[in-house]
Amino acid sequence: MTQIPYGAGTLPAGVRSRTIRGVNDLDVHILEGGYEDLRRPLVLLLHGFPDLAYGWRHLIPILADAGYHVVAPDLRGYGQTTGWLKGYDAPLESFSLLNMTRDALGLVSAVGYRHTAMLVGHDLGAPVAAYCTLARPDVFPNVALISAPFPGTPEFPFNTADREVPKPPSPGLSQSVDEALASLDPPRRHYQHYLTTRQANEDLSHPPQGLPAFLRAFYHVKSADWPGNKPHPLKGGTAADLAEMPTYYVMDIDKTMPETVAAFQPSVEEVVSCQWLTDSELGVYAEEYGRTGFQGALQAYRVLSDPKLNAELRLFSGKTIDVPSLFIGGMSDWGPYAAPGALDLMRTKGTTKLAGIEFIDGAGHWIQQEQPVQLAKLLLDFIE
């Protein structure tokens, strides 16, 4: 895969792009700020889907100005990080949560640190960050999760010696919920199920409206800029409950994701007024995903839907996140409620030192891009 350096003007002053070789069998592309002095404490930022290290570009300079060495990698399967296998039929084991935890651990060591001052994970990066703290609290002594709450570890059934052992739940949607969504009027399907299908990469990589227009609509509809985002906790996990979410979460069954978000394409005026994602910044995303496609990024969703590939997570059965933790959501983001009950479980079951649950006004799913100053304040208050 040919690497293309970011062009002039795509990165804020003081933020550089480079590649770290040989990190857990990867060459990891990172963006970093505050790199002039390795005596600075390290902040590691893990992005989600469909994002890149570039998604942290507004936040990196703020944290660097506060005295930190800030590192944001393109995760395994994304952007200019190389060494991962492409294609739908490639083995999925390397995309497991624990191997992506090893990616983060190896990167910390590669840049010359024994531990982080703060670990931050957004969206799909949040469960990676959570397992980093579960596996190596000595290296990751605190964690902030954005958008995706941590509901706790999968557990072995307790006291089953004299009774039938229940079947362990799948980490993804159950077949019964999937079938129930398909039986609704109109029939629906969950976006996570869609993203595991063979067709998803082709749909996302070659949308009929063109890649820039598709990405613009996708980022817009999941942001606070789209007035239709009025998230609230769901009563439960039934098909009817899930169908209360917008169609970019629970899709019409006969539509692709590009077809789904095309209905929410922002106007010219809305694009011009979007200061958190200018056309030139959108161009970085379009160039990167146009070059790599989406399959590498989609592999983790396939792992999460496979009970066999997630069986290793029961190594942490009954374990909680026992380092100081923080959850941050956007007031206009459905992410905190997409897994019904997960936020409450993070508070009551998943963590023992939860410092707070915070919501940022004027932010949807892309909090670090939409409201970086407010996010930085919460993070710095948490760390300091």
Retrieve residue 325's tokens.
């933790």
User: Using 50, 70 and 90 to split pLDDT, how confident is the model at 1?
Assistant: very low
- What proportion of the chain, given as a percentage, has pLDDT over 90? 88
The DSSP 8-state label assigned to residue 95 in this structure reads: G
Between the alpha carbon of residue 300 and those of residues 235, 266, 357, the distances in Å are 28, 29, 26
Of 71-80, 129-138, 304-313, least confident by mean pLDDT is 304-313
For residues 40 and 145, state if they share a domain.
yes
Residue 29 maps to a domain = yes
Is the pLDDT reported for residue 8 higher than 80? no
Of 297, 326, 359, the position where a domain reaches its end is 297
For residues 144 and 184, state if they share a domain.
no
For residues 207 and 276, state if they share a domain.
yes
pTM of the predicted model as reported, rounded to 2 decimal places:
0.95
* Cis amide bond preceding 41, omega within 30: no
pLDDT in tens, 11-50: 999 999 999 999 999 999 999 999 998 899 999 999 999 9
For residues 27 and 141, state if they share a domain.
yes
Triad 237, 240, 243: Cα angle to 5°: 90
Residue 252 maps to a domain = yes
Of 273, 297, 321, the position where a domain reaches its end is 297
What's the mean per-residue pLDDT of the chain? Answer: 94
Amino acid at 267: S
Say what angle helices 211-221 and 279-292 make with each other, to 10 degrees: 120
For residues 185 and 282, state if they share a domain.
yes
Q: What is the domain range of residue 93?
A: 16-155+310-383
Kindly report the backbone phi and psi dihedral angles of residue 7, in degrees, each rounded to the nearest multiple of 5, phi listed first.
-75, 170
Residue 168 maps to a domain = no
pLDDT in tens, 79-136: 999 989 889 999 999 999 999 999 999 999 999 999 999 999 999 999 999 999 999 9
CA 245 – CA 234 distance, rounded (Å): 9
Of 297, 330, 345, the position where a domain reaches its end is 297
For residues 184 and 286, state if they share a domain.
yes
For residues 193 and 246, state if they share a domain.
yes
For residues 213 and 283, state if they share a domain.
yes
For residues 128 and 231, state if they share a domain.
no
For residues 133 and 24, state if they share a domain.
yes
For residues 212 and 85, state if they share a domain.
no
Residue 20 maps to a domain = yes
pLDDT for the residue numbered 10 = 87
Is the pLDDT reported for residue 7 higher than 90? no
For residues 82 and 129, state if they share a domain.
yes
pLDDT for the residue numbered 2 = 44
Is the pLDDT reported for residue 169 higher than 60? no
CATH number, domain at 41? 3.40.50.1820
Residue 166 maps to a domain = no
Amino acid at 158: F
pLDDT in tens, 277-308: 999 999 999 999 999 999 999 999 999 988 89
Residue 34 maps to a domain = yes
The DSSP 8-state label assigned to residue 102 in this structure reads: H
Residue 326 maps to a domain = yes
| Count of domains observed in the chain | 2
Neighbour tally for 48: CB within 10 Å: 26
CA 102 – CA 112 distance, rounded (Å): 16
